Structure 1
Amino acid sequence: MGTREELLSKGYEIATFAAGCFWGVESVFRKVKGIDHTQVGYTGGTTVNPSYKEVCTGTTGHAEAVELIFDPNIVPYHKLLELFWALHDPTTLNRQGPDVGTQYRSAIFYHNADQQHAAIASKMDLQRSGKFDNEITTEIVPAGPFYRAEEYHQQYFEKMGTEGGCIMKY
């Protein structure tokens, strides 16, 4: 373990996913061997350094997301994609379960061309698999600025001593 910058200098990579409420998404990814750093925050919008309250209005364009720093030698990106798809229903536009709004959209924010190609291929494979009756609505877009959420959102379920109750498993 180290700081985000130390890990990146040692060959670790960044992955950013939005799959509904970020508390549950982070809770699941934190348990994966090879992911050494997580943080929840906001990305994909236009407001600089938005607050949770602002993001909840749906006017900033941001999604609730989790940023992961991972060792690709232990957990390759395609394994993270498999978990991402399993965590939520990627066919519901701008919602997961009871959470409705663009901030809860399904999105993969890629950090390089390899991630982009892997994300597109995995989405196409999943759509062709017939697992879902409806079309997958997940956005696959370049990663932009990631704004760390307020401290009380970080590792929320661990702090509260509860399991990821807002996670939707499919």
Structure 2
Amino acid sequence: MTKTRTALCAGALALVSAGCQQAVAAESVVAAPSAKRAAKESAGLKTAIFAGGCFWGVEGVFSHVKGVTSAVSGYHGGTERQASYDIVSSGVTDHVEAVKVTYDPKVIRYDQLLRIFFSVVADPTLKNRQGPDRGAQYDAKLIPTSAEQLTVAKAYLAQMKGSGKWSGPIVTDIVRAQAFYPAETHHQDFAAKNPSHGYIQRWDAPKIAALKRLYPGVYSASFQRN
């Protein structure tokens, strides 16, 4: 964990210092519904961008999904000059922490990635925060990179709102894809490289365990490294 992450993830410093004993309410696991509108994607690798709080956990989950060939942590929504961890984590930019996912639609479709995302990665009822992290840079957003993904994302959010699966209103936004800037090298594959880290054990390892439990057919024990 960087000094910046230790200082700025709201609640995380106390959480890690206490050996993960102090409780900021844990994110709940929800078995999101299967999409009524399945993605109709042509052959060949596709990319999609997901923002769902700290990018360590988002990347960690998608890197264990069969059909995902790459999951890269980075910054989306702001300028290239601002695309550094120290600046983004200060909360003064238009960036969100995000992950660019490259996947094979013959193995895993975009709508299935959405289901995984809302089941074990991000709480769609939270605005400008996820887990212990607070600020607009940790907002959950869907960032489609194609017209088909946009159609599927809109349909799935509408389906979620009528599903009754969540206790609060669905507030996750869909935003237009802009430039994506990969994060610094030490942030890539962070969960895999630091499995004993307090933040990873408390917040991200449970997400990967939930993926394995809820979706064993798409879970891959091997980690797709960038």
- Partners in 2 of 1:33 and 1:131 — Cα distance? 25
Quote how far apart the aligned CAs of 1:42 are.
Answer: 0.4
2:195–2:201 contact (8 Å) kept in structure 1: no
Structure 1 distance, partners of 2:172, 2:94, is 15
Aligned CA RMSD, in angstroms, stands at 1.8
| One of 178, 190, 210 as aligned partner of 1:144 | 178
Percent of residue pairs identical: 42
Instruction: Note the residue ranges of structure 1 that are not aligned, 5 or more in a row.
Output: 1-9
1:55 matched to 2:88? The reply is: yes
2:82–2:88 contact (8 Å) kept in structure 1: no
Spell out, residue by residue over 1:76-95, the C-alpha distance to the aligned partner (whole angstroms, 9 max, x if none).
11100101111221111100
Structure label with greater radius of gyration: 2
- The one of 90, 112, 133 aligned to 2:167: 133
Q: Please report the TM-score for the alignment, with normalisation by the length of structure 1.
A: 0.88
Residue in 2 that maps onto 1:4: none
- d(CA) in 1 for partners of 2:136 and 2:201? 21
Counterpart secondary structure, 1:166: helix
Distance 1:146 1:119 in 2: 19
Contact conserved, 1:23 with 1:164, CA < 8 A, in 2?
A: no
Aligned ranges 1:76-155 → 2 under 5 Å: 76-86=109-119, 87-155=121-189
Superposition pairs for residues 18-97 of structure 1, below 5 Å? 18-46=51-79, 48=81, 50-86=83-119, 87-97=121-131
Could you tell me how far apart the structure 2 residues matched to 1:165 and 1:28 are?
A: 14
Aligned-pair CA distance for 1:127: 1.0
Number of residue-to-residue matches in the alignment: 161
Q: Once superposed, which parts of structure 1, at least 4 consecutive aligned residues long, lie more than 6 Å away?
A: none
Answer 1 or 2: which has greater strand percent: 1
- Secondary structure of the structure 2 residue equivalent to 1:142: coil
Partner of 2:203: 166
Q: CA deviation at 1:161?
A: 2.8
